Amino acid sequence: MTEWAVELKGVRKTYRTGPIEVPALRGLSLRVAPGEFVATAGPSGSGKTTLLNIIGGLDGADAGEVLVAGQSLHLLSSGELAQLRLERIGFVFQTYNLLPVLTALENAEFTLLLQGVPTHERREKVKKLFSEIGLAGLEDRRPAELSGGQQQRVAVARAMVTEPALILADEPTANLDSATAISLLDVMEHLNRATGTTFIFSTHDPQVMERAHRLIRLRDGQIASDETREQGAAVG
Amino acid sequence: MKGSLLLVKVSWRNLWRNPRGTSLTALALGLGLALLLISLGLLDGGHEQTIADGVRLGPGHVVIQAKGYQDSSSDELLLPSRVVFRIEGFLQSGDMKHVVRGISPRLLANGLLSSSANAAGVRIMGVIPHDEQAVSLIPLRIVAGTYLSNDSLSAVVIGAGLARKLEVKIGSKVVLMTQALRQPSTDTKNGAGEEMQSTLLRVSGIFRTGLQAVDATIIHLPSAAARTLLGVADGHVTQVALLLEREGDAPLVAGALRQQLTEAPIEVLTWRESIPMLAQILGLDHAFNYIMNGVILVTVGLGILNTILMRVLERRYEFGVCKALGLRPLQLAVMVIGESLALTVISLALGLALGLSVNHHFATSGLDLRWVFTTGLPPALVFDPILYSRLTSERIVWSVGIVFAMATIISLYPALKAARTELPDALKVL
């Protein structure tokens, strides 16, 4: 039996603000195999971010089941979810979200430190990753001293450095110019191929969709289309 | 806890994200501690002085009197000479002689002192000049003339207020009139009991204590002259006043005396029992000071709570990111508490430096309050208008501990707030 990297079964999520109910996911089912490079696309309010939050255990589903690496998330306590995120899932946010008081290197090794990895091993991993993704020499800079693209690369490094099985990226290129966005996608695709890490990212950007190996389009909290292809396919 | 060092590092650096805010908060908390130290130093120093002056103007640290004297104030209750000898013998033996600085037997009575110009009611204190000088403050506060000497039988020392009222100066003649004491052991038919007696005295010294009640009523004359006037047998006294090396030994000395003289009809009182008003005033002053210090600490504490809470609320998104990356609620709380503790340590260093410096100044040069009491001290107070601070190491440890505990407790709420950062809501801020 195949163990899916991510499996959603009839997931429902509704947000409530007073008497107003806004359904975000309406019985969504999805399977992502290990090592896939998946983009989710769709208009605002289609459920992209909610989907990523639920897969990452940042938010809970109202109904249905979410499994990450075969583990059912609704059975886990908040502490176990935190541990799962720390060990198995990497996050890349739209606005980079580096800790402003830490250097690029310290930001990247943040999760390793929380895992209790020894200093020497930590530094070695981060430096290797930095040189792979073009951040060598920027280790001691604070986020404010880095460009947007560099900050997002540090964020990717922070997500990748623990060698998670899954990386969730919520519109990672939204704040980047197109050249920087392409460069970041190169990095992510390279890491996907080199390490076999599963990537799921949300985007509005057609050039990002083009690079996805699988493109899932969402509409009104449901999957409108799900196409698997080799990279470079035109996006209509 | 894994990553503790990083959390400490993050906490420390977070402090300096807003250096001005951090400095102001540290200064506020430091000032709170400094104020606490200064006020405690002045309070303790002032109380120590007040007690020292109060007991030296009154009955000493410990007083031995005939049983019932404290309640009745009857001057006819006297200590027999054999009891006085036993007291003196005990206090000058063994360890006691190192504890007791002075012993002064006193004969007390009320009288009327007249000059050619005026007359005033007075409190007569018949004293042995040499002994009294070791106990009382009055010989040290002579502003004109000299204090009594052992051979000046017709001399009297009076307060400046009384001298003004009687319009007398050094060398002036005054007449002291009083009623001879009726003693239970004395045959009243011998003519001494209850008869008015008078004697001519010459003012040899004028003192000023600043305490109106003392300066206007107390007179000192040699005990031999007082005994003759009052018709009291040799060696009999109203009280034996003791001045100790340390105020704290008063209960010990009083206890030892009570044990030594169990069968004698006497009462042995510490200054707290013999001058309860002074003890109450000091107790009230302590309570008031603690309340004031509490108000200062609460005010400063609320300021710190506000600062730390604002910092936490401003960083809700950052905490959300940390939580998304796998930081547990406890680790987030530790980060906030660490930040608060780092701020507290800086503040304590500032507060200690400031508080101890000011205390040192007040301990050596004193705080001169004479400008407050230009017309003399209030009648209920006995203290030197120059306050000298006295800060013990226990007080310092206590103050630092209180401020540290307060800052730690205050940081718990913001820490809880950070720990309870809700996902994914916290990530929606931007």
Overall number of domains in chain A? 1
CB of B321 within 8 Å of any CB in chain A? Answer: yes
Least CA distance to B327: which residue of chain A?
A82
**Minimum Cα–Cα distance from A122: chain B residue:** B3
Residue A233: per-residue pLDDT: 47
B363 in Cβ contact with B390 (< 8 Å)? yes
User: How many distinct structural domains can be found in chain B?
Assistant: 2
pLDDT at residue B376, rounded to an integer? 58
Q: How far is CA A85 from the centre of its chain?
A: 11
> Which residue, of B242, B274, B306, is where some domain finishes?
B274
Q: Quick one: average pLDDT of A182-193?
A: 87
Contact across the interface for A116 and B325, Cβ inside 8 Å: no
- CA-CA distances (angstroms) from residue B41 to A103, B47, B288, B360, B387? 46, 10, 15, 9, 10
Q: Could you tell me if B198 and B68 lie in one domain?
A: yes
Instruction: Indicate whether B119 and B200 sit together in one domain.
Output: yes
pLDDT tens digits along B170-214: 999 999 999 888 665 544 444 455 678 899 999 999 999 888 889
Average pLDDT, chain A: 89
Token reading at B140: 């040290």
Q: How far is B36 from chain A (nearest CA, A)?
A: 34
Do both B336 and B399 map to the same domain? Answer: yes
Q: Which of A216, A220, A214, A205 is nearest to A233 (CA)?
A: A214
Put simply, the answer to whether A113 touches B424 (Cβ < 8 Å) is: no
Look at residue A132 in the predicted model and tell me its pLDDT. Answer: 82
Interfacial residues of A (vs B; Cβ cutoff 8 Å)? 49, 53, 56, 58-59, 78-79, 82-83, 85-87, 91, 93, 95, 97, 99-102, 106, 110-111, 113-116, 158
Q: Is B427 on the interface with A (CB under 8 A)?
A: yes
Pair B221, B91 in one domain: yes
> B303 and B158, same structural domain?
no
Site of tokens 């089941």: A65
Encoded amino acid at B313, one letter: L
Q: Is residue B370 pLDDT above 90, yes or no?
A: no
Residue A29 is assigned to a structural domain of this protein: no
- Contact (CB, 8 A) for A223 and A28: yes
Q: Which of A53, A101, A114 lies nearest to residue B326, judging by beta carbons?
A: A114
User: Is A22 part of any domain?
Assistant: no
**Which uninterrupted H or E stretch holds B177?**
strand B173-179
Asked, for residue A222, whether it belongs to a domain, the answer is yes
Q: Does B322 touch chain A (CB under 8 A)?
A: yes
More confident residue, A214 or B290: A214
Query: Does a structural domain hold residue A71?
Result: no
Would the CB atoms of A85 and B423 count as touching at under 8 Å?
no
Neighbours of A49 (CB within 10 A): 21
- Asked, for residue A4, whether it belongs to a domain, the answer is no
Please name the residues in contact with B191: beta carbons below 8 A apart, sequence gap of 6 or more.
none
> Residue B10 and residue A158: Cβ atoms within 8 Å?
no
> Given A49, A82, A113, which is nearest B6 (Cβ)?
A113
> Quick one: B268 and B283 in the same domain?
no
User: Domain range for residue B307?
Assistant: 4-54+279-428
Average pLDDT score, chain B: 87
How confident is residue B430, by pLDDT bands cut at 50, 70 and 90?
very low
- Look at residues B274, B300, B326 and tell me which one is the last residue of a structural domain: B274
* B327–chain A nearest CA distance, Å: 7
**Closest partner residue to A82 among B14, B317, B328, by Cβ?**
B328
Distance CA(B306)–CA(B220), nearest Å, equals: 62
Q: What is the dihedral of CA A208, A213, A219, A222, to 10 degrees?
A: -150
Q: Is B379 a residue whose pLDDT tops 80?
A: no
B420 touches chain A (CB under 8 A): no
Q: What is the CATH number of the domain that holds A118?
A: 3.40.50.300
Residue A172 lies in a domain: yes
Indicate the residue among B207, B240, B274 that finishes a domain: B274
Q: What pLDDT sits at residue B429?
A: 47
- The chain B residue lying nearest A85, using CA atoms, is B326
Confidence class of residue B237 from pLDDT cuts 50, 70 and 90? very high
- Structural domain boundaries enclosing A150: 34-49+82-228
Task: Give the ipTM.
Answer: 0.82
In tens, the pLDDT along A84-142 reads 998 899 998 888 888 888 899 999 998 888 888 898 999 999 998 898 888 899 999 99
Name the helix (H) or strand (E) containing B157. strand B155-159
Task: List C-alpha distances in Å: B195 to B79, B125, B173.
Answer: 21, 19, 23
**For residue B38, what are its two tokens?**
């200064």
| DSSP per-residue codes, B179-201 | EPPP-TTS-GGGS-TT-EEEEEE
- Same domain for B99 and B234, yes or no, is yes
Residue A29 is predicted with a pLDDT of 96
pLDDT of residue B73: 86
Residue A135 placed within a domain:
yes
**Does one domain contain both B111 and B256?**
yes
State whether B228 and B123 are in the same domain: yes
CB contacts of B424 in chain A (<8 Å) are 49, 53, 58-59
